[in-house]
């Protein structure tokens, strides 16, 4: 009996130490995620808002269905690198529910280096596209991108899994029947211009959105011609002249509403349906695909994908 009591006491002490150690690690993880998801420096956030632009996670909140979870991926990408100036690698990726349809969302954070792509940004972008292709999910791109971060171009451009690979995947998914839909909220330069240009449908926000390989200053240096951003690649020009854009939005709220409308009309049969535990067996018998992994801090306890 004494040995049993001693063993129970030792186990209790071990549990207490382990619980304290793991609780400390959990708090560290939460603090780092909070830091990474806060976006760029306060002055960059202020400049972003001065241009009447929403922050990247505010856009996502308006895009996904109310009361549903957004499963964010790779939030600690590039953590501690580049002097801590590239939180989340400057991009937000994840899976959200839009009009009942699970979609992969890939959204640039323009408060972080103007939404430019670092090596880790490219890898995070490609990983989200891989998940979309493997699970047959549409891709929704919220584009606000300065293209490749040129001081890092040797780690962004040349290799098989670098920037060009994302365009390769985008076009292949489109060809396979997975919709690629872009909403453009700001200036999209160089590689950032390809993302909407290669999409199946494009929405551009009047006054803020631009798509061009090089901006007005580059045109001036290259051919000594002065041109403004709207004439060169603005929302109205691409919607009324070039045809790159399919929809002209009055503001970001309008753009996100248009994207939701497009998703609602895709006609895809894979829909998220919340189910009670008592109905799970019946759903299985109806050949529904189910994934019951709980999502923390979410009103959804499980995600269900049922064939309509």
Q: What is the pLDDT of residue 302?
A: 32
**Is residue 293 assigned to a domain?**
no
In a domain, 188, yes or no: yes
Q: Is 176 inside a domain boundary?
A: yes
pLDDT digits (tens, 9 = 90+) for 169-190: 999 999 999 999 999 999 888 8
CATH number at residue 181: 3.90.226.10
Residue 285 domain-assigned?
Answer: no
Range of the domain at 37: 21-266
**Is residue 60 in a domain?**
yes
Does residue 274 form part of some domain? no
Domain assignment present for 212: yes
pLDDT band at 207 (very low <50, low <70, confident <90, very high): very high
pLDDT-derived band at 308 (thresholds 50, 70, 90) equals very low
Angle 34-40-41 from CA coordinates, rounded to 5°: 105
Which of 10-19, 27-36, 200-209, 232-241 is the least confident region?
A: 10-19
| Residue-averaged pLDDT of the chain | 84
| Residue 297 covered by a domain | no
Kindly state the tokens that stand for 125.
Answer: 């972008």
Please say if the pLDDT value at position 11 is more than 70: yes
- Percentage, residues of the chain above pLDDT 90: 54
pTM, whole model, 2 decimals?
Answer: 0.81
Total domain count, the chain: 1
């Amino acid at each position: 009996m004494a040995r049993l009591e001693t063993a129970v006491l030792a186990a209790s002490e071990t549990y207490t130490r382990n619980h304290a150690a793991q609780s400390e690690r959990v708090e560290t993880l939460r603090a780092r995620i909070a830091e990474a998801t806060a976006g760029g420096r306060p002055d960059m956030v202020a400049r972003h808002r001065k241009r009447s632009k929403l922050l990247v996670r505010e856009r996502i909140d308006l895009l996904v269905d109310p009361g549903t979870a957004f499963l964010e991926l790779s939030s600690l990408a590039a953590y501690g690198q580049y002097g801590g100036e590239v939180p989340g690698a400057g991009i937000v990726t994840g899976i959200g529910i839009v009009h009942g349809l699970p979609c992969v969302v890939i959204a640039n954070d323009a408060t972080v280096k103007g939404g430019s792509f670092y090596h880790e940004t490219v890898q995070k972008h490609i990983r989200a596209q891989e998940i979309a292709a493997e699970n047959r999910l549409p891709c929704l791109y919220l584009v606000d991108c300065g293209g490749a971060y040129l001081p890092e171009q040797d780690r962004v451009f040349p290799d098989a899994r670098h920037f060009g690979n994302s365009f390769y995947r985008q076009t292949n998914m489109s060809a396979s029947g997975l919709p690629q839909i872009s909403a453009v909220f700001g200036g999209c330069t160089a590689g950032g211009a390809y993302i909407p240009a290669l999409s199946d449908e494009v929405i551009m926000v009047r006054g803020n959105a631009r798509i061009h390989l090089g901006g007005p200053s580059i045109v001036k240096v290259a051919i000594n011609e002065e041109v403004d951003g709207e004439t060169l690649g603005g929302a109205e020009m691409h919607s009324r002249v070039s045809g790159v854009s399919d929809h002209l939005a009055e503001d970001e709220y309008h753009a996100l509403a248009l994207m939701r409308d497009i998703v609602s009309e895709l006609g895809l049969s894979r829909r998220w349906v919340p189910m009670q535990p008592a109905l799970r067996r019946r759903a299985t018998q109806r050949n529904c695909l189910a994934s019951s992994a709980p999502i923390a801090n979410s009103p959804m306890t499980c995600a269900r994908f049922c064939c309509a």
